[in-house]
Structure 1
Amino acid sequence: MKQFLFFIVLISFIDMFSQLPIMSPFAKSLGADPALIGLTVGMYSCSNMFGNIFAGYWIDKQGAKKVLYIGFLLTGLSLLLYAIVNTPLQLMAVRFLHGLFSGFLVPAAFTVIANIGKEGKEGKSMAISGVAVGISAIIGPAFGGIVASKFGVNWVFISIAIIMFLIVVLTGLFIPNRPTEITRKIEPPEKTLLSLIKSPMLTISFIGAFSLMFAQGVLAYMLPLQVESLQFGTHYSGVLLSTFGLTAILIFGLPSNRLFDRFQSQNIMMIGMCIIAFALILLSITATLPFLFICMVIYGTGFALLFPSMTAMLVKHTDLQTRGKAFGLFYAFFSIGSVAGSFITGLLAVSFAAGFVISACILLVNSLWMLLYFKNKTEVTESLE
């Protein structure tokens, strides 16, 4: 069961990461101009946010297994549509459908993992899931690039679609219908999106997701420019990104993942955000290749602390009636942060150093107000005792 869920998360994210090296050239080959290429690439993230939120409602009403089952089926079908597009507008329409349907997958997959997990082990469970995310971030772009160059871009989509259809069959066999019962009392009892956003602990998790992916968007946009300006080989951009991914995977998968259940999630979150900010500031002043690798190891450490802790916080403060919507919102903030990071720094036309500093400041400011919130909350609790 656990291995199958790991595989589900892996394929869900490979679907997204495999597009990175091929989508812009594919759109250009169909005659799209630069503006239309940018819009086509961004269409996936835009519709993915709506898919995340819609999936959240659906999960809480029908169950995560059904949403996962239908999500893989519809995403697989949408992937096959890439093979028949002939114009940029057709490609944009397919991107919309692909993003919308794939938006069902990740909230449903993580809801299933949370629902069958043991209470008190949420952090370790989310860390193990993070291994799948890290691996997909490493092999996804390589898979897309290699398959497209050897067999054509259509086979990237067709091959992933075939795997998704296989998962549809296996989901019915391996995923249980009844989740683990939750014995603890969860606040708030309301079930609307607004009430979830108003819940302080969930809001902190959502802001953590936005902050992480804002930094990730800036890194993806600025790091290749930095490597180019320092006159290193362009292939080093990919190697550096893989370095941070490998670092995160090691922390996720080794016994170090026990710390996510040993310490409070909010404390690990704030430490992770500060470490990422520190890495970004170092990147802004780095001029040597070895130091770039050191920065990415530091960044990967912060990423590895932040991702499981904020997802564990979400699991701990939701129940079976609210968890789907909460994960839907969480991954919607993921998409917003990723788009905002690259878009804002691109719009401001800042240097890579300034872009890294802006991202670091956002992380530090969010960490600071979280610290003040929890400090004030502790003081209020102590005064009432």
Structure 2
Amino acid sequence: MKTALWLYLFLFIAFFDLHAQYPMLTPYAVSLGAAPTFIGWMMGIYSLTHLPGNLLAGPGVDRHGSRRYIMLSLTAAGLILIIQAFIKSPWELLVLRGLSGFVLAFLSPACLTLLARLSDHPVTQGKYMSGHGVIHTSASVISPAAGAFIVASFGFRTTFGSLGLLLIATGIMAYFTLPKTRPSAEPAAPLDAEHSRSIPDWRYFLPPFVIACAQGILFYELPLRGAGSASIMSTGILFSVISLGALLTLSMLFLNRYSPILRLTAGIFMMALCFYLLAVFDTSIIVTLFLLGTTKGVIFPAMASLFIILGGSHLGRTFSLQSIVTSIGSFCGPVLAGLIHGYFSPFFAAFLILMIGLALTPLRRIPQPVSLPSSKKAA
């Protein structure tokens, strides 16, 4: 539990730092002279460069543990943010966003693997994942509005520099407080012939892909509804509204008792409906975004629980593959939105993508494992 508390603290700081950038990246790129299509590529390149990092992260975390990867990822991302404060052209921003995507690709597989190994009971693991979601969402509730306020008050350079220093300090703290021992290499008890494979059925990776694609469209489209400092503030508030909705459902820990695949498919369906409402109606956007946030609070713990069950003793590789398809979706989303912006509603495109992904996802229950990798050595 002590390890979980430390990890939650570091995750809160890291997520606060990262989500505070969302409402300012698009205006920052515009201030550097970037066109809408270029902004889509700038946002997408972050996810594209996640791929090589994800490929390296999976085997590395399984072999060496999570501590060094968490520390190096946060510290390197902080240094890049400090450099980002002094750039003068959109192309420099593109390069730095690509580098940032690579170094932060190690963070999610390392954190999720460490949390999953803190217990060998599926329900407890689900609660740890919900706790991860609560921390993530709590930080994202206030960070977009806080980031927008800081940049409106002090400018882009001071904001990026401060966020970079905070990430570096968090990475150094993580190195000295997280466990140094490697995770247990004991194999998990087999589930059945299908689920004992080291790589889960690829159809189960469709949900993180379509969800990331839809979110990428949202992150691109929402800040473009206006311009100027007032728009930055309002965009930050809208992102915070989404996070408040997610926090509501993440706090409902009893949901972890239900089948992950059922929670996941129900959440995707409701998220698709929210994007449809965003595409069709211009009013009640705050209510719709709040409802969209509640679907995220259902989806992400369910998705983590599903991959814990499917991953067995290969949690690092499994979460790495999840991060890979998430990165591809996050790349495709804003790029697609940039290409169709002004011709076709990106929100309606997100609705179609989610519904197609839902239709192709296996709609059957996943059996609970007899046991999962022991956590006692990792804790």
Give the TM-score category using the shorter length: 0.7 to 0.9
The SS at the match of 1:154 is helix
Shift of 1:47: 1.5
Q: Which residue of 1 aligns with 2:190?
A: 185
Question: 2:254 is aligned with what amino acid?
Answer: R
1:272 is aligned, of 263, 267, 275, to 267
Question: Conserved in 1, the CA contact under 8 Å of 2:137 and 2:243?
Answer: yes
Question: Conserved in 1, the CA contact under 8 Å of 2:82 and 2:165?
Answer: no
Higher helix share: 1
Shift of 1:210: 1.4
The SS at the match of 2:22 is coil
**Unaligned runs of at least 5 residues, structure 2:** 368-379
Alpha-carbon distance change, 244 to 40 in structure 1, aligned in 2, over 3 angstroms: closer
Q: Which residue of 2 aligns with 1:362?
A: 353
Question: 1:374 is aligned with what amino acid?
Answer: R
Q: Which residue of 1 aligns with 2:66?
A: 64
- What is the CA–CA distance in structure 2 between the aligned matches of 1:140 and 1:190, rounded to whole Å? 40
Shift of 1:31: 5.5
- What is the CA–CA distance in structure 1 between the aligned matches of 2:31 and 2:220, rounded to whole Å? 23
1:156 is aligned, of 155, 159, 169, to 159
Alpha-carbon distance change, 101 to 259 in structure 1, aligned in 2, over 3 angstroms: same
- What is the CA–CA distance in structure 2 between the aligned matches of 1:175 and 1:241, rounded to whole Å? 31
- Deviation digits for residues 235-286 of structure 1, max 9, x if unmatched? 6554444223101112212xx22222x1111111111111112222333333
Alpha-carbon distance change, 309 to 22 in structure 1, aligned in 2, over 3 angstroms: same
Normalised TM-score (structure 1): 0.79
The SS at the match of 1:374 is coil
Alpha-carbon distance change, 156 to 184 in structure 1, aligned in 2, over 3 angstroms: farther
Question: Conserved in 2, the CA contact under 8 Å of 1:124 and 1:258?
Answer: no
Alpha-carbon distance change, 294 to 104 in structure 1, aligned in 2, over 3 angstroms: same
The SS at the match of 1:129 is helix
Alpha-carbon distance change, 342 to 99 in structure 1, aligned in 2, over 3 angstroms: closer
Shift of 1:127: 1.4
Question: Conserved in 2, the CA contact under 8 Å of 1:215 and 1:341?
Answer: yes
**Unaligned runs of at least 5 residues, structure 1:** 379-385
Aligned residue runs from structure 1 range 149-228, under 5 A = 149-176=152-179, 177-179=181-183, 183-185=188-190, 196=199, 199-200=200-201, 203-204=203-204, 206-223=205-222
Percent of aligned pairs with the same residue?
A: 28
Alpha-carbon distance change, 62 to 26 in structure 1, aligned in 2, over 3 angstroms: same
Q: Which residue of 2 aligns with 1:330?
A: 322
The number of residues matched between the two structures is 357
Q: Which residue of 1 aligns with 2:290?
A: 297
1:129 is aligned, of 120, 127, 132, to 132
Alpha-carbon distance change, 346 to 3 in structure 1, aligned in 2, over 3 angstroms: same
Aligned residue runs from structure 1 range 59-98, under 5 A = 59-98=61-100
- What is the CA–CA distance in structure 2 between the aligned matches of 1:267 and 1:73, rounded to whole Å? 38
1:341 is aligned, of 323, 327, 333, to 333
Question: 1:305 is aligned with what amino acid?
Answer: V
- What is the CA–CA distance in structure 2 between the aligned matches of 1:365 and 1:83, rounded to whole Å? 40
Alpha-carbon distance change, 178 to 82 in structure 1, aligned in 2, over 3 angstroms: same
Alpha-carbon distance change, 39 to 280 in structure 1, aligned in 2, over 3 angstroms: closer
- What is the CA–CA distance in structure 2 between the aligned matches of 1:223 and 1:35, rounded to whole Å? 15
Shift of 1:33: 5.9
Alpha-carbon distance change, 35 to 285 in structure 1, aligned in 2, over 3 angstroms: closer
- What is the CA–CA distance in structure 2 between the aligned matches of 1:317 and 1:95, rounded to whole Å? 32
Alpha-carbon distance change, 217 to 31 in structure 1, aligned in 2, over 3 angstroms: closer
Alpha-carbon distance change, 149 to 279 in structure 1, aligned in 2, over 3 angstroms: closer
Question: 1:220 is aligned with what amino acid?
Answer: F
Question: Conserved in 2, the CA contact under 8 Å of 1:116 and 1:179?
Answer: no
Shift of 1:309: 0.4
Q: Which residue of 1 aligns with 2:242?
A: 244
1:99 aligns with 2:92: no
Question: Conserved in 1, the CA contact under 8 Å of 2:268 and 2:299?
Answer: yes
Q: Which residue of 1 aligns with 2:377?
A: none
Shift of 1:44: 2.2
Q: Which residue of 1 aligns with 2:149?
A: 146
RMSD of the TM alignment (CA)?
3.2
Question: 2:143 is aligned with what amino acid?
Answer: G
The SS at the match of 2:21 is coil
- What is the CA–CA distance in structure 1 between the aligned matches of 2:269 and 2:243, rounded to whole Å? 18
- What is the CA–CA distance in structure 2 between the aligned matches of 1:80 and 1:72, rounded to whole Å? 13
Shift of 1:362: 2.8
Question: 1:7 is aligned with what amino acid?
Answer: L
Q: Which residue of 2 aligns with 1:314?
A: 307
2:50 is aligned, of 48, 52, 70, to 48
Question: Conserved in 1, the CA contact under 8 Å of 2:73 and 2:107?
Answer: yes
Shift of 1:68: 1.4
- What is the CA–CA distance in structure 2 between the aligned matches of 1:152 and 1:127, rounded to whole Å? 35
The SS at the match of 2:190 is coil
- What is the CA–CA distance in structure 1 between the aligned matches of 2:265 and 2:280, rounded to whole Å? 23
- What is the CA–CA distance in structure 2 between the aligned matches of 1:72 and 1:124, rounded to whole Å? 25
